[in-house]
Amino acid sequence: MLDELYQAIILDHYRQPRGRGELEPPKITQEGFNPSCGDEVIIDLRVEDGRITDVRFHGHGCSISQASASMMTEAVRGKTLAEAHALIQQATALVKGELDGDFETLGDIVALAGVRYFPVRVKCATLAWHTLEEALKQVE
Amino acid sequence: MLDELYQAIILDHYRQPRGRGELEPPKITQEGFNPSCGDEVIIDLRVEDGRITDVRFHGHGCSISQASASMMTEAVRGKTLAEAHALIQQATALVKGELDGDFETLGDIVALAGVRYFPVRVKCATLAWHTLEEALKQVE
Amino acid sequence: MKTARLSVNAGEVRRQFPFFQPHPEMRSVIYLDNAATTQKPYTVIEAVSNFWAHHNATVHRGGHGVGAKASELYEAARTRVAQFLNAREPNEIVFTRGTTEAINLVATAWGEAFVQAGDEIIVTELEHHANLLPWMRLAEKQQATLKVWRITDDGRLNLDDLRELLTERTRLVAVSHISNVLGGVNPVAEICHLAHAAGALCLVDAAQSIAHMRVDVQRIECDFLMFSGHKAYGPTGIGALYAKREHLEAMPPYHVGGGMVQTVRWERVRWAEPPMKFEAGTPPIGEAIGLHAALDFIDSIGREAIESYEHELTQYALRRLQETPGVRLYGPVPDRTGIFAFTLEDIHPHDIATVLDTRDIAVRAGLHCAHPLSERLGGPTVRASLALYNDTDHIDALIEALHHTRQVFGYAG
Amino acid sequence: MKTARLSVNAGEVRRQFPFFQPHPEMRSVIYLDNAATTQKPYTVIEAVSNFWAHHNATVHRGGHGVGAKASELYEAARTRVAQFLNAREPNEIVFTRGTTEAINLVATAWGEAFVQAGDEIIVTELEHHANLLPWMRLAEKQQATLKVWRITDDGRLNLDDLRELLTERTRLVAVSHISNVLGGVNPVAEICHLAHAAGALCLVDAAQSIAHMRVDVQRIECDFLMFSGHKAYGPTGIGALYAKREHLEAMPPYHVGGGMVQTVRWERVRWAEPPMKFEAGTPPIGEAIGLHAALDFIDSIGREAIESYEHELTQYALRRLQETPGVRLYGPVPDRTGIFAFTLEDIHPHDIATVLDTRDIAVRAGLHCAHPLSERLGGPTVRASLALYNDTDHIDALIEALHHTRQVFGYAG
Ligand SMILES: Cc1ncc(COP(=O)(O)O)c(C=O)c1O
Ligand SMILES: Cc1ncc(COP(=O)(O)O)c(C=O)c1O
C-alpha cells in the first residue's frame, strides 16, 4: 500500500516538479490552501481561444500535493477548457477510488491512484485540481 | 421522616410567624437570599449594651425558611451577643444532624431537627441563622 | 391519535434507559423533570463510551488514522444534526456546549457586529434567562433598545402585539419555541415571517421543542435556532446552533484559538470558513457523537409518534391536574405541551417538591430561570414536565402525592 | 531515578485503558499524539457512564434528591480540581469546555474591563493559538499593544528579555507552562514574579503540563491558570479555569443565562457569586465528574512518579532521536518534556506521518496550532508526544519507522 502511494513517479514529480514557477501577466492566478495541514498551491494560467496555453504552479506542501500539482500542469497544458474539466473529474475520482474504466489516457496521473488507501491524504492530492477548477471559474 | 420535617410546630410558625415585621430606625438590617430557590429573609435587629433588645424578620419563602426565621426571632430576643452566637452554632449544627448532646435548651428550634433527612432543605433552615450571623458582624 | 398512541409503548421505552432499571442501591424514581434535563438511553451512553474507548483522538488535525476516524465521526454528527433540523447543509451547524452558549454566541458575534445604537431587539416575556440576559446585555452595550413582547393573561403570545412592536429599527426577534414554564407552543413560523417582513431577523430557542416535536428550520424560516443535547436524550456538554449560511459568513468569530484559522501571522489572521470559524479549540467530540446517537434514538421512535403520544399524555395530565382540589395551573390550554407549572393551595412550591420527593417523584420548584415570567405569574411554582418514557401511571402517582401534600399541610381531604 | 522508574509500569498502566486492549476489528496503535489528546482509562469512562445511567439530573436547582446528588457530585469535582491545583478554595475554579474557552473568558471578561487603550499585553512567541488569538483580538479591540516575547535560537524564553519588555503599562503576561511544540518547561513562577513586580498580572496556560508535572497555583503565584480535561486522561468538553478570588469578583460575567444570577428584573440583574457567575447554563456535568476520575487516576499513579518516569523516557527518546540520521530536533535540551518536534531530511512532515501511520504509529504533522512559532522554526514539523503509558518499545518502533521512512524516500540506509 505504501509503495503504491510513494511510487517513484510521484517522488520524481516532487523532486523535479514540472511547470513550477509563475507566469508574467496577463494571467489568471488562483490560490489554493488546505487549512488542516498548511499545504498551499498557487496556479497561474493563460487561456487563449478556449485553450490553456500556459500553466505554472508554486507553493509548498507534502510530496502528494506538490507532485499532484506538477502532474496537473503537464496534463492540462494545451488542453481545451472542456478537456481540462474532464481531467479534473477523472483525477479527483481517481484519488478517491471512484474511477472505473479507462485509466490509459491519464498518463502519469495514474500514479495518484494509491492515494485512495489513505483517506487523510485525499485532500493533498486533490488540492491542485480543486484550485484549477476555481481558476477556470475566473475564465468563464 | 416527612412527619419529622413538617411537624405541627413548624407549620404553626409558618402560618403564625412570631416576630414578623420591621423595626423603626435606629436598627441593623441584613438581607439573606438563597439564589437556588429564591427564599428571602430580611432581619431587623436592635442591639443595646451587647444584648439583642429587639428583632424582627420579613421576606418570603418555603415553610422551613420562614418557620426557621420565626423561631430564630423568638430564641434570640433578649439574648447577649455571645448567647446568640452559641444559638447560631447549635441551630445550624442541629439541621445538619451534627449536634450531639443537649437539645433541651433549644425550645421550639428542636423541631428543625427533621431537616437533617432532607439535604436539599438544609439551606432553607439555615438561611435565617446565617443572615443573623451576618447582621451581628455589623454590630462588632 | 389512537393508532399513534399504540406506536409508543412507554414501558418498552424505559427499558432502553439504565436510569429506569431496578438498582440494588437506588430507589426508582418517577422522573418528571424533563424540561430541566432528560435521561439518557443505553445507546447514547455507549456511543460516547465507545468513542473514548476505541476511537479517541482529536479532530481535523492531519496525522494518523485514529484522528481521521474521529474526524469522520464528528462530522457525521454534524451532518446528522443538519438532517434532523432540515438545514440546507451541514455547514450551517455549529456545535456549542448548549443553548446558552449558542445564544451568547449570536448575541456577541452577530449582535456586536450588526446591532447599532438606537436599534431595537424584541424578546418575549416568557423567555428563559438564556434568551433574555444576552439581549439585555447586548442592548446595554450597543445602546440599543430592548422591547418586551408581553404575554396575554392566559399565557400566550399575541401576534398583533408583535405587529405593534416591530419597527424599521428592529434588528431581531428572539423567541422560544416552547416556554420552559408554561409549555405553550409559540407560532414561530408566523413570528419569523412578521420579523422578516419588518426587515428583522428571527432567533428561535428550541431547547424545549427539540425532543418533543418536529423542528424544521426551513419551514420555520428562522435565521438562528439552537438546542441542547442533554434535553434531547443526549449528553451534557453539547448543543447545536443552526444559522443560515449567509449569517455565519457575515459574522466575525466568537471564541478564537486553534482550529478556526487558515493562517496566523503577527500582522494578520485569516479565519477558516464556517462552521470551523466558530469552533475554536478542541470541541466536545465524544459528546457530539453521543448527540448523534440521541437523535437516532428519537427517530427510532419517530417524531410524529412521540408528538402524538406526548399530546395524549398531556391531555390526560391536564385533566387530572384540573380536577385536583387546590391546584392552580398556569399557561395556555390549547397548543400546549407536557410542561405544567402549578401551585397547590398556598403551600410553598419547595414544600410541595419535598413532599413529592419523599414519594420518589422528581419535579422542580422555583422560578425556573425565568424570573420576569415568574414574577408575572405571582412567584415560584412547581413544574412537572413529561417525556417519552412517562406514562399515565406517573401522572396518577403525581396526583395522589398532591392529595397527600394537601393532607400534610392540613387541608381537608 | 531508578527507584522512581520502578514506580510506573507502563504496561500495567496500559491495562487500565480500553484503547490499548486487543480488539477484534481494530489494529493496535502506538499512540504518540498525547499533546493533542490523551487516551482515557476505564475509570473515567465508567464515571461518566455511571453518572448518566444513575444520577443524571441538572445541578443547583431545587427540587429532588436526584438533583441534589448530581449537584453534590459536580461540586465534589470542583473541590477535587481545586485540591489538584492547590487553589485556596473551590470557588476559585470555574468549569469551562477547555483551555481555549478559559482563555477567551479571561481575555473578554477580564480584558475588556481592565485593559485600556495604550496598555500592553505580553505574549510569547511559542504560544498555541489559544493563548495568542484572544490577546491579539483584545489588543485590537482595546487599542492596546501586543508585545511579543521572542524565544532564543535554542527555543527558550530568556527572563532578561522579559525584563526589557515589561513597563508600567503592562497589564498581563500570558505564557504557556510547557510549549506544545518544543516541549520546554517555562519558568512560570519567575515569570509571574517579574510580572507582579511590574504591576502586571500573569496567566499560565497549563494545557501541556497538567498531566505531566505538579502544577501548584500558589507556588507559581499566577493570577489565572487553565487546562483541558481531555489532555489529562479526562473527557472532552471539560476544562477548568483557576483565577484568584479577587479577580473573579472584580470581573464581569462572560456567558450570561440561567444559573448565574441571583435575581433578574427588567431594570436590574444581580449576578451570583463566583464561580457560579461564570457558569451560565447547564454545565458539562458528566464531563466534570469524568475529570474528577481522571485526576484521581493521575494521583493513583502519583505525580512525582509520573514526572520522573516521563523524564527518563524523554531522555531515552532524545538520545534515540539524536542518533537517527537525518533527524533535526527542535526545542531546548535541558528542562524539556516528552514533546518532540522534528524533521527528517527534507521529507515533508505529512509524508513522514503517513509512513508512520502505515506502521500504526500515531504522531502529528503540521503547524500544531502555533503558526508564528512554526514559521520561526522554518515550517511544519512532525510531533511525537509522550504520556504515562508509553515506554521505550514505542520509541524504538518510532525510530525504526523513521529509518524505514528514509528508505521509502530514497535516502541511503
Ligand atoms: C499549550 C496549549 N494551549 C491550549 C491548547 C488548547 O486546548 P483545547 O483545544 O483543549 O482548548 C492546547 C491544545 O491543543 C495547547 O497545547
Ligand atoms: C427555553 C430554554 N432555553 C434555554 C435553556 C438553557 O439550556 P442550557 O442550560 O442547556 O444551555 C433552557 C433550559 O433550561 C430552556 O428551557
- Residues D108-147: pLDDT tens digits? 999 999 999 999 999 999 999 999 999 999 999 999 999 9
Contact residues on chain D for C109, CB-CB shorter than 8 A: none
Q: What are phi and psi of D135, to 5 degrees?
A: -80, -35
Task: Write down which chains contact chain A via at least 3 CB pairs under 8 A.
Answer: C, D
CA C306–ligand 2 middle distance (angstroms):
21
| Substitution target from C72, C262, C276 for chain A, most A beta carbons within 10 A | C262
Question: The cell 423595626 sits on which residue?
Answer: B23
Number of H-type helices and E-type strands within chain C: 16, 15
What is the b/e burial string over D9-47, where b = at least 16 CB atoms within 10 angstroms of the residue's CB?
ebeebbebbbbbeeeeeeeebbbbbbbbbbbbbbbbbeb
How far is it, in rounded angstroms, from Cα C398 to Cα C392? 10
How far is it, in rounded angstroms, from Cα B67 to Cα B108? 10
Say how many C-beta atoms besides its own lie within 10 A of residue C345's C-beta.
15
* Owning domain of residue A103: 2-137
Question: The cell 449582535 sits on which residue?
Answer: C111
Could you tell me the fold of the domain covering C46-299?
Answer: Aspartate Aminotransferase; domain 2 (3.40.640)
Q: Strand C261-264 vs strand C269-271: parallel, antiparallel, or unpaired?
A: antiparallel
C-alpha torsion sign, points D160, D165, D167, D170: negative
Q: What percent of chain C has pLDDT over 70?
A: 98
**Pick from D375, D377, D340: nearest CA to D356:** D340
Which pLDDT score, from 0 to 100, does residue B4 have?
81
Contact residues on chain D for C366, CB-CB shorter than 8 A: 61-63
Which pLDDT score, from 0 to 100, does residue B38 have?
80
pLDDT of D1 higher than 60? no
CA D318 to chain C, closest CA, distance in angstroms equals 21
How far is it, in rounded angstroms, from Cα A95 to Cα A107? 14
Q: Which residue of B has its CA nearest to D59?
A: B36
Which pLDDT score, from 0 to 100, does residue B34 have?
85
Three-class SS of residue D412? coil
pLDDT of D249 higher than 80? yes
pLDDT of C167 higher than 70? yes
Which pLDDT score, from 0 to 100, does residue C2 have?
44
Contact present, B135 and B43 (Cβ < 8 Å): yes
pLDDT in tens, C228-264: 999 999 999 999 999 999 999 999 999 999 999 988 9
pLDDT in tens, D342-378: 999 999 999 999 999 999 999 999 999 999 999 999 9
* Chain pair B-C, CB pairs under 8 angstroms: 40
User: Which residues of D are the active-site residues?
Assistant: 369
Calculate the average pLDDT of chain C: 95
Amino acid at A23: L
Does C168 or D5 have the greater pLDDT score? C168
Residue ranges of chain A whose pLDDT lies below 70: 102
Mean pLDDT of B72-86: 95
Length of chain A: 140
Instruction: Tell me the residues of B at the D interface, defined by beta carbons under 8 Å apart.
Output: 33, 35-37, 119-120
Tell me if chain A has a CB within 8 Å of the CB of D358.
Answer: yes
Which pLDDT score, from 0 to 100, does residue D56 have?
94
Mean pLDDT of D276-284: 97
C60 with A37: Cβ contact below 8 A: no
User: Which residues of C are the active-site residues?
Assistant: 369
Residue C259 alpha carbon, nearest atom of ligand 1: 9
**Pick from A92, A90, A79, A82: nearest CA to A127:** A92
Q: Which ligand is nearest to the CA of C179?
A: 2
How far is it, in rounded angstroms, from Cα D185 to Cα D337? 7
CA D379–ligand 1 middle distance (angstroms):
20
Tell me if chain B has a CB within 8 Å of the CB of C410.
Answer: yes
C60 with A36: Cβ contact below 8 A: yes
Q: Which ligand is nearest to the CA of C104?
A: 2
∠ CA(C346), CA(C352), CA(C356), 5° rounding? 155
B33 with D262: Cβ contact below 8 A: yes
**Pick from D304, D351, D294, D390: nearest CA to D47:** D294
Which pLDDT score, from 0 to 100, does residue D62 have?
65
pLDDT in tens, B111-127: 999 898 888 889 999 99
Which residue among A1, A62, A64 places its CB closest to the CB of D358?
Answer: A1
How far is it, in rounded angstroms, from Cα D365 to Cα D5? 30
Beta strands in D276-394 (DSSP E): 327-329, 339-344, 361-362, 364-366, 381-385
How far is it, in rounded angstroms, from Cα D85 to Cα D93? 10
Grid cell, residue D123, equals 505574549
Amino acid at D45: I
Q: Looking at ligand 2, which residue's alpha carbon is closest to its atom 7?
A: C99
Range with the poorest average pLDDT among A7-11, C165-169, C271-275, D388-392: A7-11
Contact present, C372 and D264 (Cβ < 8 Å): yes
Question: The cell 423567541 sits on which residue?
Answer: C175
Calculate the average pLDDT of chain D: 95
Grid cell, residue D177, equals 507552562
Which pLDDT score, from 0 to 100, does residue C1 have?
40
CA B119 to chain D, closest CA, distance in angstroms equals 8
Which residue among D60, D64, D65 places its CB closest to the CB of B36?
Answer: D60
Burial classification of residue D403, based on how many CB atoms lie within 10 Å of its CB (0-12 exposed, 13-18 middle, 19 or more buried): middle
C366 with B38: Cβ contact below 8 A: yes
Which residue among D37, D44, D257 places its CB closest to the CB of C130?
Answer: D257
Which pLDDT score, from 0 to 100, does residue C22 have?
92
pLDDT in tens, C300-341: 999 999 999 999 999 999 999 999 999 999 988 788 999 999
Which of the four pLDDT bands, split at 50, 70 and 90, describes residue C62?
low
Contact residues on chain B for D66, CB-CB shorter than 8 A: none
Which pLDDT score, from 0 to 100, does residue D2 have?
44
Q: How far is CA C19 from CA C29, C41, C233, C313, D43, in A?
A: 9, 8, 12, 21, 20
Which pLDDT score, from 0 to 100, does residue C298 have?
98
pLDDT of B88 higher than 80? yes
Which pLDDT score, from 0 to 100, does residue B120 have?
85
Range with the poorest average pLDDT among A43-52, D2-11, D313-322: D2-11
Mean pLDDT of D330-336: 85
Q: Which ligand is nearest to the CA of C385?
A: 2
Which pLDDT score, from 0 to 100, does residue C224 have?
98
Which pLDDT score, from 0 to 100, does residue C358 have?
93
Q: What percent of chain B has pLDDT over 90?
A: 69
Q: Looking at ligand 2, which residue's alpha carbon is closest to its atom 12?
A: C207
Chain C 373-402, residues with CB within 8 Å of chain B CB atoms: 379-380
| A/B touch flag: 3 or more CB pairs below 8 Å | no
Grid cell, residue C51, equals 468513542
CATH of the domain at A94: 3.90.1010.10
CA C57–ligand 1 middle distance (angstroms):
14
Within 13 Å of residue D408, how many CA atoms lie on the same side as its CB? 27
CATH 3.90.190.20 fits C10-31+302-408, yes or no: no
pLDDT in tens, C12-38: 999 999 999 998 888 899 999 999 999
What are the extents of the domains in chain D? Answer: 10-31+302-408, 46-299
Number of domains in chain A: 1
Strand partners, D341: D383
Q: What percent of chain D has pLDDT over 70?
A: 98
Question: The cell 497561474 sits on which residue?
Answer: A44
Grid cell, residue C111, equals 449582535
Which pLDDT score, from 0 to 100, does residue C413 have?
65
CA C206–ligand 2 middle distance (angstroms):
9
Mean pLDDT of C388-411: 96
| A/C touch flag: 3 or more CB pairs below 8 Å | yes
Q: Looking at ligand 1, which residue's alpha carbon is closest to its atom 12?
A: D207
Which pLDDT score, from 0 to 100, does residue D64 have?
86
Burial classification of residue D380, based on how many CB atoms lie within 10 Å of its CB (0-12 exposed, 13-18 middle, 19 or more buried): buried
Three-class SS of residue A58? strand
Q: Looking at ligand 2, which residue's alpha carbon is closest to its atom 15?
A: C207
pLDDT of C401 higher than 80? yes
**Contacts with C152 (C-beta within 8 Å, 6 or more apart), sequence order:** C158
Q: Which residue of A has its CA nearest to C262?
A: A35
Residue C35 alpha carbon, nearest atom of ligand 2: 16
Contact present, D220 and D205 (Cβ < 8 Å): no
Which pLDDT score, from 0 to 100, does residue D4 have?
44
How far is it, in rounded angstroms, from Cα C125 to Cα C148? 6
Which residue among D62, D64, D65 places its CB closest to the CB of B37?
Answer: D62
Domains C10-31+302-408 and C46-299 share a fold: no
Grid cell, residue B120, equals 436539599
Q: What are phi and psi of D246, to 5 degrees?
A: -60, -35
**Pick from A109, D328, D282: nearest CA to C232:** D282
C350 with B37: Cβ contact below 8 A: yes
Confidence (pTM): 0.95
Question: The cell 475520482 sits on which residue?
Answer: A93
Which pLDDT score, from 0 to 100, does residue A100 have?
76
Burial classification of residue B101, based on how many CB atoms lie within 10 Å of its CB (0-12 exposed, 13-18 middle, 19 or more buried): exposed
How far is it, in rounded angstroms, from Cα C339 to Cα C332? 11
Range with the poorest average pLDDT among A66-75, C192-201, D18-27: D18-27
Three-class SS of residue D216? coil
How far is it, in rounded angstroms, from Cα C45 to Cα D51? 10
Beta strands in C118-256 (DSSP E): 120-124, 145-149, 170-176, 201-205, 224-228, 239-243
C355 with B2: Cβ contact below 8 A: yes
| D/B touch flag: 3 or more CB pairs below 8 Å | yes
Which of the four pLDDT bands, split at 50, 70 and 90, describes residue C4?
very low
Say how many C-beta atoms besides its own lie within 10 A of residue D307's C-beta.
16
Contact present, D256 and D270 (Cβ < 8 Å): no
How far is it, in rounded angstroms, from Cα D335 to Cα D314? 10
What is the b/e burial string over A93-110, where b = at least 16 CB atoms within 10 angstroms of the residue's CB?
ebbeeebeeeeeebebbb
